[in-house]
């Protein structure tokens, strides 16, 4: 959700904050603001809208200080206007707070503060924190850090906050609970950020703050304590990607760059997964084969695109490892009473590793005795830390709000996990596992071939971009790809799109077909191809214009579909890695054609840290 940045040190503060906000803007873009402290003064500038509006407001202004914090917002409490933009300040103008997350007991706290005479300038939950910190200082807290610790002890919810006080220039105090916050030490100072992307231009040595830890950042470095003031330490790690990976490198949008990075991302994710004997090895998993031998049930929990990757994995785990799999939306799973035992494996998928619903589902599963394996793209993320075992995708930073390369690498990681389970349970012969791995290793080159059809797809996008409604249909592993194709299209182009199980069309959705309405059909080779051809005929008979995604060499499909995009032939279970690419490109080019803000679609944020 919101992006947080903070810096204290000898370098000019404002440019560092603005550069950090530019990097973090993908996390939320309803408003942006900065607060700087120096020479006993606190300066706050904030504006509704994207970062550009803040830059305009700052134009020619000299906002200076020895420390400062910046915020880019995804609104939860209060509409996105100037008043509700962060930072929020206490009535005396001493303390400024930025915040990512939700203060769940803010209404109660606000009522108490109001009863004591407090007047609020915004509708946000965050402003309550500024009032509370100021009150704790008035009530005798020795310094800002003590005041923040006292205030946070009264907060419920999931949050990351950073606070500055004009009476302590050069100091930033930060705290987190169930929302990400990372710290970096730099020459003569320190930085904080919601994620590694905000720090990578300055340092690769990161300390992730843990729940209820408080960090005090000064020119002397960073001191971490618990809420009682006792010394503590966050989770320290080094990131292995550099700033170039988080830049557009000549592409019009991050999303397009990330679509084109998929061959490399898949190659990286497969690296080192096979030993000299051709066996699957998962060294980073923090578990061994014995932990998996007796697994008798798998639950996969995730949200959005990660949920679709889980749907794809169900077919592989059931087919290769012979274990029953249920795939559930994380926000639903956590409020059910799933039957979990020590032999249940819960696979929690989240590219960010910070999605609140998925974290809560994983916690729910562990509390009931199940083992949780995390699939995440972010080393050291909350999900990766909290799980019993972790398998990383190695897609590199994904900045576009629409998930692309993390989706295909999630499928790869899950397929490797499926083979690992099959191996542990001796459900496949070693040479069968080896063959499947060899087929997966061929995927990067095949992905590059699919990307070659971009211009053809851009042409189709021009044809389809004025359609009011696009349907995606698929069967078997084509179904999750139909759902994913529809999600991609709707989230970045705002064109209404839905994915359906092709066999379900006749039970209702076919009523939506109108003359000339586009239908995208996943029609690659496999045991359901004949069935999908019938489904294509059914929608054609009612006037649909069909774009089929089919297997190279399938000339017959041209008799059924109006347009065909081909992908190379692969094992049936591996098609999703290839077939999703034309749909990502279609969504991208339709959105670009319509002039949408592809990387920052309305109402969305990259990391969803609220429930
Ligand atoms: O970080 P996660 O994988 O947990 O994120 C889950 C969803 O929020 C995410 O996939 C979302 O649906 C994307 N906007 C899809 O493109």
**What are the pLDDT digits (tens) for 282-329?**
777 767 777 788 999 999 999 999 999 999 999 999 999 999 999 999
For residue 399, give both structure tokens: 């900045």
Topology of the domain covering 248-441: Rossmann fold (3.40.50)
Ligand 1 atom with the smallest distance to the CA of 352 is 1
What pLDDT does 291 receive? 78
337: three-class secondary structure by DSSP: coil
- Please indicate whether residue 382, judged by its CB atom, sits closer than 6 Å to ligand 1: no
What pLDDT score does 239 carry?
Answer: 87
Q: Which of 303, 360, 384 to mutate to test the pocket of ligand 1 (most atoms within 8 A of CB)?
A: 303
Q: Which residues are catalytic?
A: 2, 606
**How far, in Å, from the CA of 255 to the mean position of ligand 1?**
14
Domains of the chain: which residue ranges?
3-245, 248-441, 451-593
Whether the CB-CB separation of 520 and 590 falls below 8 Å is answered with: no
Residue with CA closest to ligand 1 atom 7? 304
Sheet holding 518-522, edge to edge: 496-501, 469-474, 518-522, 545-551, 563-567
CA triple 497-503-507, angle to 5 deg: 80
If one residue of 361, 605, 608, 609 were mutated to test the ligand 1 pocket, choosing by the most ligand atoms within 8 A of its CB, it would be: 608
Positions of the chain with pLDDT lower than 70, given as ranges: 60-61, 286
Distances (CA, A) of 180 to 97, 119, 183, 194, 349: 16, 30, 10, 6, 17
Q: Is the CB of 584 under 6 A from ligand 1?
A: no
Q: What is the pLDDT of residue 406?
A: 97
Q: Under a CB-based contact definition with an 8 Å cutoff, are residues 412 and 324 in contact?
A: no
Ligand 1 close to Cβ of residue 583 (< 6 A): no
User: What confidence score (pLDDT) does residue 553 get?
Assistant: 96
- What is residue 227's predicted lDDT score, i.e. its pLDDT? 97
| Same CATH fold assignment for domains 248-441 and 451-593 | yes
Give residue 58's region: left, alpha or beta (phi > 0; psi -120 to 50).
alpha
Contacts of 5 (CB under 8 A, 6+ apart): 16, 17, 20, 21, 24, 69, 70, 71, 191, 192, 193, 194, 198
Protein residue with its CA nearest to atom 9 in ligand 1: 304
- DSSP run (H or E) holding 359: helix 356-367
Q: Among the atoms of ligand 1, which is closest to the Cα of residue 488? A: 16
Residues 270-288, buried b or exposed e (16+ Cβ, 10 A)?
Answer: beebbeeeebbbbeebebe
pLDDT given for residue 248 in this prediction? 83
358 touches ligand 1 (CB under 6 Å): yes
Q: In whole angstroms, give the CA distance from residue 220 to residue 210.
A: 21
Interval 325-367: pLDDT, tens: 999 999 999 888 889 998 999 999 999 999 999 999 999 999 9
Distance 306 CA to ligand 1 centre (A): 6
Question: How is domain 3-245 classified at the architecture level of CATH?
Answer: 4-Layer Sandwich (3.60)
Q: Separation of 127 CA from ligand 1 center, angstroms?
A: 29
**Nearest residue by C-alpha to atom 16 in ligand 1:** 402
Q: Is the CB of 483 under 6 A from ligand 1?
A: no
| Cα–Cα distance, 310 to 347 (Å, whole number) | 9
N- to C-terminal Cα distance for the chain?
Answer: 11
Query: CATH assignment of 451-593, given 3.40.50.10490, 3.40.50.1820, 3.40.50.2300, 3.40.50.2000?
Result: 3.40.50.10490
Q: Is 609 a pocket residue for ligand 1 (Cβ < 6 Å)?
A: no
Taking CA atoms only, the protein residue closest to ligand 1 atom 8 is 304
* Ligand 1 center–CA 132 separation, angstroms: 34
Q: What pLDDT is stored for residue 548 in this prediction?
A: 98
Residue of the nearest CA to atom 4 in ligand 1? 350
Cα distance between residue 82 and residue 59, in whole Å: 17
How many angstroms does the Cα of residue 2 sit away from the middle of ligand 1? 15
Does ligand 1 come within 6 angstroms of the Cβ of 383?
no
Buried b (16+ CB within 10 A) or exposed e, 119-154: ebebebbbbbbbbbbbbbbeeebeebbbbbbbbbeb
């Amino acid at each position: 959700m919101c992006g947080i940045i903070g810096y204290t040190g000898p370098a000019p503060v404002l440019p560092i904050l603005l550069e950090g906000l530019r990097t973090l803007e993908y996390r939320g873009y309803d408003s942006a603001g900065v607060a700087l402290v120096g020479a006993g003064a606190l300066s706050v500038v904030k504006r509704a809208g994207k970062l550009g509006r803040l830059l305009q407001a700052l134009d020619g202004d000299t906002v200076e200080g020895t420390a400062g914090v910046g915020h880019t917002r995804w609104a939860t409490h209060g509409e996105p206007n100037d008043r509700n933009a962060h930072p929020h300040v206490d009535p005396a103008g001493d303390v400024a707070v930025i915040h990512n997350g939700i203060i769940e007991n803010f209404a109660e706290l606000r009522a108490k503060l109001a009863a004591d005479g407090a007047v609020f300038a915004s509708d946000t939950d965050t402003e309550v924190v500024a009032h509370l910190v100021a009150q704790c200082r008035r009530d005798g807290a020795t310094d800002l850090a003590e005041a923040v610790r006292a205030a946070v002890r009264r907060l419920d919810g999931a949050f990351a906050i950073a606070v500055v006080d004009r009476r302590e220039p050069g100091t930033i105090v930060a705290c987190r609970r169930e929302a990400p916050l990372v710290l970096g030490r730099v020459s003569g100072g320190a930085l904080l950020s919601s994620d590694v992307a905000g720090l990578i231009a300055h340092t690769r040595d990161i300390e992730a703050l843990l729940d209820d830890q408080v960090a005090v950042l000064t020119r002397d470095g960073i001191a971490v304590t618990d809420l009682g003031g006792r010394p503590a330490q966050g989770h320290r790690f080094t990131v292995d990607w550099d700033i170039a990976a988080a830049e557009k490198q000549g592409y019009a949008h991050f999303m397009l760059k990330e679509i084109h990075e998929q061959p490399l991302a898949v190659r990286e994710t497969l690296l080192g997964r096979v030993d000299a004997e051709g066996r699957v090895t998962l060294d980073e998993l923090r578990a061994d084969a014995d932990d998996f031998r007796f697994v008798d049930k798998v639950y996969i929990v995730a949200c959005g695109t990660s949920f679709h990757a889980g749907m794809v994995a169900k077919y592989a785990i059931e087919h290769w490892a012979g274990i029953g799999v249920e795939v559930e939306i994380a926000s639903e799973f956590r409020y059910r009473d799933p039957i979990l035992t020590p032999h249940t494996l819960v696979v929690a998928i989240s590219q960010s590793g910070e999605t609140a619903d998925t974290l809560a589902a994983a916690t729910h599963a562990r509390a009931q005795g199940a083992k949780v394996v995390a699939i995440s793209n972010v080393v050291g993320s909350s999900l990766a830390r909290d799980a019993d075992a972790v398998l990383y995708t190695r897609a590199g930073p994904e900045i576009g709000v629409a998930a692309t390369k993390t989706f295909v690498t999630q499928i790869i990681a899950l397929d490797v996990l499926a083979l690992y389970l099959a191996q542990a349970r001796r459900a496949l012969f070693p040479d069968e596992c080896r063959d499947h791995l060899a087929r997966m290793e061929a995927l990067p080159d095949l992905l590059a071939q699919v990307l070659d059809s971009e211009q053809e797809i851009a042409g189709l996008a021009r044809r389809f971009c004025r359609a009011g409604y696009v349907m995606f249909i698929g069967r078997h592993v084509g179904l999750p790809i139909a759902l994913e194709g529809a999600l991609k299209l709707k989230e970045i182009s705002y064109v209404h799109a839905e994915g359906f199980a092709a066999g379900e069309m006749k039970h209702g959705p076919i009523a939506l077909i109108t003359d000339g309405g586009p239908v995208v059909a996943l029609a690659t080779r496999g045991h359901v191809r004949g069935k999908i051809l019938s489904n294509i005929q059914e929608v054609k008979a009612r006037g649909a214009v069909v774009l089929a995604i089919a297997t190279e060499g399938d000339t017959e499909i041209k008799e059924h579909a109006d347009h065909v995009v081909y992908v190379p032939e692969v094992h049936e279970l591996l098609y999703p890695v290839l077939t999703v690419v034309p749909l990502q490109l279609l969504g991208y080019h339709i959105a670009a054609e319509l002039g949408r803000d592809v990387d920052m679609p309305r109402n969305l944020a990259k990391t969803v840290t609220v429930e």
